[in-house]
Chains A and B, each alone.
Chain A
Amino acid sequence: MNNLEKFSYDNKIVKQFAYATVLWGLVGMLVGLWVSLQLIYPTLNIFPHTSFGRLRPLHTNAVIFAFVGNGIFMGVYYSLQRLCKARMFSDKLSKIHFWAWQLIIAAAALTLPFGITTGKEYAELEWPIDIAITLVWVIFGWNMFGTILKRRERHLYVGIWFYIATFVTVAVLHIVNSFELPVSLFKSYSWYAGVQDALVQWWYGHNAVAFFLTTPYLGLMYYFIPKAADRPVYSYRLSIIHFWALIFLYIWAGPHHLLYTALPDWAQSLGVVFSIMLIAPSWGGMINGLLTLRGAWDKVRESVVLKFMVVAVTAYGMATFEGPMLSLKKVNAVAHFTDWIVAHVHVGALGWNGFLTFGILYWLIPKIFRTNLYSIKLANWHFWLGSLGILFYAVPMYWAGFTQYLMWQEFTPEGFLKYSNFLETVTQLRSMYIMRSLGGAMYLVGFIIMAYNLIKTVKLGSLLENEEVEAPALLKEEKAHSGEHWHRWIERRPISLMFLSLIVILIGGAIEMVPTFLVKSNIPTIASVKPYTPLELHGRDIYVREGCYTCHSQMVRPLRFETERYGEYSKAGEFVYDHPFQWGSKRTGPDLARLNNKYPDSWHYNHMLDPTTMSPGSIMPTYAFLLDDAIDTASTSAKIRAMIKLGVPYPKDYDKVANVDLIKQANEITENLKKDKIETLNDREIIAVIAYLQRLGKDIKVNPKPTTKN
């Protein structure tokens, strides 16, 4: 004990990330409230830039990567230094990490409203930002491992295992899912097509939940709950088993987002069973968190920090039980495409991520500012408003989900859909949407109260930028204790731990993806399915730009009530030229996979101009600007070249003549519209959109034959 080293913890970086968490949380939730109101009052869509399809990705990106992202970094930078008994590896890297991450968020906020998007859920940001994210992530990892390597604590605490697994897995997920071919600075096409793109995307999407919203927060839980409660962690051996089981099993479960779709059955079944096996490992985290509070429940009654944390962990437990249940096919058939899923993810986001972040903020800000929380009373108000807000949000959304499913699937005794007009199933939900917005508003008000409370607290105290501490240096020898737990071995070897977790998470993804890519029988081709015409391709890009997939699916499931409503169920071979796939995950509007010839061109024209003229009561935004804006024909050849590079079989040198075909088809549509007394120029975006919408489902249309025999 004589060679004590003096060093300090960097609290300034923690403060910065904490401020960013609050700021972006506010932005993300405001946008969330706004889009929820748009579903009640469609006039709130106002500008093209603020239409639902463009703002909804902004909401999801802001709360996941800006609010929770900064929350992760705040908690990691605070806890990692203390768990390693070392200052962060490099203040410069910390600084670059912080500012670069905020820049990325700003770039997202500036590009998404302009329709600059890849069209893949939770990975909408375009390729230059994707590259920036990769670089910042490397900086984060570098800084983290640098700190771990110079630690003064021999063994790595369970929280750090979770941070390491988060780092490697998010890196793998982001890189693999972001494979895209740039067409221009702001446009790229996904490397994968159709079913394969869907599998990669939901492997990513599911594990973004797992490794961005779950594992880092479990790591934070393992630090902040024992600290705040001043209790030992309940079970060391439980943490070992649930950690390894969780990261191994999670990665397999992605296909449960694609049940009853054109994904091969075997992959769907793997998604089901691995989701079911996830219950226990997920609950392992909840148990270890809650049982750590054994003997401290009297503190929970008094400490608002612990109250937030208990609700967070409980919400985690509920969401991770519900998730596997939703993976059972019968349940999934009910919930998929409905508001049930919206309820489910918000229990996780508002309850688990939100409340844990709040608990940490209330604990940490007074600590680094060397003062007490400005008002415990206000924090309690926040707690109750937030909890009620979650209830008011979730219950109406569950209700809406059930209602919509029940209406979708109800048949009359004559064997017809009882609610054959999809719109009826939308207008029915209005009152529930109002309740949901109310819940969201309550949660937001609580958040604003917290922001006020924290600002006041900051003003009361002064930041301890560098917290002086001392600890003995780590001796070089790495001898194992006799009789120690076998897992201690790897806790002394951070690099081995990283590689082992990398191997563990690669297994599931590889087993599911490799056969889907290599084995032909998984995606049976259909001879009649042809590449999109240049005009349709432009229309498709506009469809992606406007975020139509946020409300419309293109996936008819083989369920009687769906084929009856939309037509033949979707086949894997139909999507082979879809870069990216646009199956969607939510049906606020009807499925569009079989739109071909359902309505005349003029219907679409009028419907885009003002949806309520063709569908009274519709809550779709107006797309009048499509009638004025011209198609970007200058980019046609670049787009065709990119598609050829991705393997789409256009004729040789087609990029040079593509615009000729484009104009020819545009003229046909313009003529068609003229017949219905609609005069329009042939180069307007609406023409391309009509061409694309009329193409949907055309290729596999067999001769018109009654779907039900009489």
Chain B
Amino acid sequence: MSHNSNNFLVMKKMVLEKFNRSLIPSVKYFFTAIMLLVAMSVSAQSKIIEATYDSISLFSNTLFVVLLIIAILLLIAIIVLADVLKNISASAMSKETDKNKINKILSATSLVFILSTTTSQAQPTFHMTYSDTGYGGLSAGTFYFLIGLILFELIIFSVLVSAIKIFVKREQKILGEKAKKVVAPEISILEKLNASVSIEKEEDILLDHNYDGIRELDNDLPPWWKYGFYATIVFAFLYLIHYHVTYSGDLQLAEYDKSLIAAQEAKAEYQKLMADNVTENNVKVITDKNELEEAGKIYKQNCAACHGQLGEGGVGPNITDQYWLHGGSIKDIFISIKYGWPDKGMKSWQSDLSPSKMNELASYIMTLSGSNPPNQKEKQGELYVAAGLAKDSLLNDSTIVAVLDSAKVVMK
């Protein structure tokens, strides 16, 4: 009995010592790393916003966010592995020189880590352009930089893994030599990662609890779990400070306003480029057959539900007769489409269709005039006569034919 409890005490002391020696300094290390990372990303973010105020924030690009998350996760994995390595080295290394070596390795990795974050901050090409579709909306520079960063992290990651493997092997060897005929306990990476007491020794940490035969061990909190928890708490404070104390982050309405401004500018730019600036003041009838065909499709998709497949009317008025509620000139029809008549159930289409598309559609609707489809809705509104024709001359059948003919010409 006494021997057992003594053994247990010794073991516990050892575990605690190991814990203190190797982990507490690494808390500091970890925290500095996290703080550094957050500081970098915050400053980088503000820089991005400054630089691309006129375009869309990088963080709304899914690819960018995914790559960034991968990079950060790898970084965390690297930190944890470095921690494990340190842990192993502390227990495996007895010679001072070896310890120095390990410290060198560690400082080298942290140097690399800092370097990588600073370069990420220094990257000048955080641009998103519409034309750059080859990289999921990212500029080539950003894309390759992130991929490079991830590859780089992967290399460090694999170096660390192989280093750990070497140490574990060496430790096993040493242990094997030390107690050749005693059992050589297996030390797995998982156990190192979780700082768990190996199964062979678990009797030492078995508590005297017994619930319906269920016993409880007293393993330590897995370090990665514990520091992960701390990290999320730090994140929580930084997040709240960022948005609600220093106001350095955009809350949803500010973010929204910026996205509107950016979109507006991009649109103006595009319209300038494409000369897509048709308004009610300069709209003209289009006669190009292909464009009218295209407009026919738009009609079927968006207008036919209310105005009928052939324009005969339905919920909405008949648009094939000569009678118009809001005028039948190209300008009037364009205005009806663009702004709608919301009180009467006609919605505004300007946020669905570009100016040139509305122009095409208005022209297409003019071609329907006089097409005389079946099941026409009764006439509504006023008779509209194309400019140049006297109203009363319409009573003359031949002029109507002439009007119809001109419509057909347009249709061709």
Spell out A's residues near B (CB within 8 Å): 79, 82-83, 85, 153, 155, 157, 223, 226-227, 232-239, 241, 245, 260, 265-266, 268-270, 272-274, 276-277, 279-281, 283-284, 287, 291, 294-295, 329-331, 334, 411-417, 420-421, 557-560, 563-564, 569, 597-603, 606, 614-615, 676, 704, 706-710
Q: Is the CB of B351 within 8 A of A708?
A: yes
A232 to B, closest residue via Cβ = B215
Chain B residues within 8 Å of A239, by CB: 216
The dominant DSSP class at the B interface is: helix
Give complex CA distance A260, B65 in Å. Answer: 19
Q: Is the CB of A232 within 8 A of B65?
A: no
Residue with the greatest number of chain B CB neighbours at <10 A, chosen from A266, A294, A707 = A294
Chain B residues within 8 Å of A597, by CB: 342-343, 345, 347
Instruction: Tell me if B222 is interfacial: C-beta within 8 Å of chain A.
Output: yes
B350 to A, closest residue via Cβ = A706
Give complex CA distance A272, B235 in Å. Answer: 10
Selected from B59, B212, B216, B220, the residue in CB contact (under 8 A) with A82 is B212
Known: A331-B65, A417-B352. 16 other contacts (CB 8 A): A85-B212, A223-B212, A227-B213, A238-B222, A269-B239, A280-B229, A284-B225, A291-B219, A334-B62, A413-B270, A414-B270, A416-B351, A557-B252, A559-B256, A603-B315, A708-B350
Chain B residues within 8 Å of A157, by CB: 209, 211, 214
Selected from B62, B130, B217, the residue in CB contact (under 8 A) with A234 is B217
Q: Is the CB of B270 within 8 A of A415?
A: yes
Q: Is the CB of B233 within 8 A of A277?
A: yes
Nearest chain B CB to A537 CB, angstrom units: 24
Q: Is the CB of A153 within 8 A of B211?
A: yes
Q: Is the CB of A295 within 8 A of B199?
A: yes
Chain B residues within 8 Å of A234, by CB: 196, 217, 219
Give complex CA distance A245, B211 in Å. Answer: 23
Number of CB contacts from chain A to chain B under 8 A: 186
Q: Is the CB of B221 within 8 A of A241?
A: yes
Q: Is the CB of B65 within 8 A of A265?
A: no
A417 to B, closest residue via Cβ = B352
Q: Is the CB of A277 within 8 A of B306?
A: no
Q: Is the CB of A614 within 8 A of B209?
A: no
Residue with the greatest number of chain B CB neighbours at <10 A, chosen from A153, A157, A558, A676 = A558
Given contact pairs A236-B209, A413-B270, A597-B343, A281 touches B229 in the complex (Cβ within 8 A): yes
Q: Is the CB of B209 within 8 A of A237?
A: no
Q: Is the CB of B215 within 8 A of A277?
A: no
Selected from B130, B226, B240, B255, the residue in CB contact (under 8 A) with A269 is B240
A605 to B, closest residue via Cβ = B315
Chain A residues within 8 Å of B276, by CB: 414
Given contact pairs A676-B315, A708-B267, A273 touches B235 in the complex (Cβ within 8 A): yes
Q: Is the CB of A560 within 8 A of B259?
A: yes
Write 21 A-B pairs (CB below 8 A) sorted by A numbering.
A157-B209, A157-B214, A232-B202, A233-B214, A233-B215, A235-B221, A237-B220, A265-B244, A273-B235, A281-B229, A283-B228, A330-B60, A416-B352, A420-B352, A421-B301, A558-B256, A597-B342, A597-B345, A602-B315, A708-B264, A708-B350
Instruction: Tell me if B396 is interfacial: C-beta within 8 Å of chain A.
Output: no
Q: Is the CB of B214 within 8 A of A232?
A: yes
Selected from B228, B233, B244, the residue in CB contact (under 8 A) with A266 is B244
Instruction: Tell me if B355 is interfacial: C-beta within 8 Å of chain A.
Output: yes
A284 to B, closest residue via Cβ = B225
Chain B residues within 8 Å of A420, by CB: 351-352
Selected from A236, A291, A709, the residue in CB contact (under 8 A) with B216 is A236
The proximity string for B residues 212-252 relative to A, scoring 1 for CB distances below 8 Å and 0 otherwise, is: 11111111111001101100110110011001100000011
Chain B residues within 8 Å of A707, by CB: 351
Give complex CA distance A274, B235 in Å. Answer: 10
